[in-house]
Amino acid sequence: MATPSLSVLVIDENRIRAAIIEAGLREAGHSHVTLVHDVTGIAMRIAEIVPDVIVIDLENPNRDMLENMFQLSRAVKRPIAMFVDRSDKASIEAAVEAGVSAYVVDGLKQERVKPILDMAISRFNAFSRMARELEEARSELEGRKVIDRAKGILMKLRGLSEEEAYTLLRKTAMNQNRKLADVAQGLVTAADLLGPEGR
């Protein structure tokens, strides 16, 4: 287990993701975790917290400001450097791809901090996966709704059964090499353009 005395600051505007990171850190035995969602007045917070490790999401437009602050010993009591050094290329790539970066105070042993970064990377990835799945589920639901509407239009206009309407849509999609939902959307749009009499 990592030495629990390390103080970790997580800067992330996304509160849910920050909470997920925090939970991971606490599970790993880090009790000194601070979350910051808004960087206003961050210099003062950093001076209070005196963090050993700072984790930042890469979407944060304030990274340039934060990096500059880390380099000025006036704002921060101890100089802070980018954690991942040049020799650890795999870690750098994994971190950037996951959308996270970490900074640590100079002189802190890499093996003490690496587990923190690894945990942040895996939690960031898990969060992205979750967000992606949620988005997929949402678009699938919308696709299903539009397919139902398209089936309804075909049933009404061409006197088809529900199954026949679905088969016709699917066949058209296959013939045109398009997604079923796209064909359905086209039909719904056309029906809307033609107005109520088109239904």
Partner 1 sequence: MADHEINAGFMPLFDSAVLIAAREIGFAAREGIELKLSRETSWANIRDRIAIGHFDVAHMLGPMPLACNLGLTPLASDTIVPFSLGLGGNCVTVSNTVWEGMAAHGARPDLDPLRNGAALRELIRARAAIEATPLRFAVTHPHSGHNYELRYWLAGCGIDPSREVEIVIVPPPFMADALAAGRIDGYCVGEPWNSVSVVAGKGHIATVKAAIWRASPEKVLGVRKSWARDHPDALSALLRALHHAARWCQDPSNHHELTALMVQPGFLGQPAEIQMRALTGLLDVGGGVLRQVDDFFLPFDKAANFPWKSHALWFYTQMVRWGEIRHTPTNAAIARDCYRPDLYRAALKPLGVALPGANAKVEGALTSATPVGSSGAGLVLGPDGFFDGRIFDPDQIDTYIAAQAGGLSPLP
To partner 1, the closest distance from the beta carbon of 34 in angstroms equals 22
Total residues interacting with partner 1, rule: CB under 8 A: 22
The neighbouring-strand residues paired with 7 are: 32
Give the residue, chosen from 19, 58, 141, 190, that forms a contact with partner 1 under the rule CB under 8 A: 58
Give the residue, chosen from 69, 108, 126, 173, that forms a contact with partner 1 under the rule CB under 8 A: 69
61 binds partner 1 (CB under 8 A): yes
Concatenate the DSSP letters of all residues of 14-76 into one string. -HHHHHHHHHHHHHTT--EEEEES--TTHHHHHHHH--SEEEEETT-TTHHHHHHHHH-TTTS
Give the residue, chosen from 35, 92, 108, 173, that forms a contact with partner 1 under the rule CB under 8 A: 92
93 binds partner 1 (CB under 8 A): yes
Is residue 179 within 8 Å of 144, Cβ to Cβ?
A: no
Concatenate the DSSP letters of all residues of 94-114 into one string. HHHHHTEEEEEETT--HHHHH
Q: Give the footprint of partner 1 on this chain (CB under 8 A).
A: 40, 58-65, 67-69, 71, 81-82, 84, 86, 89, 92-93, 96, 101
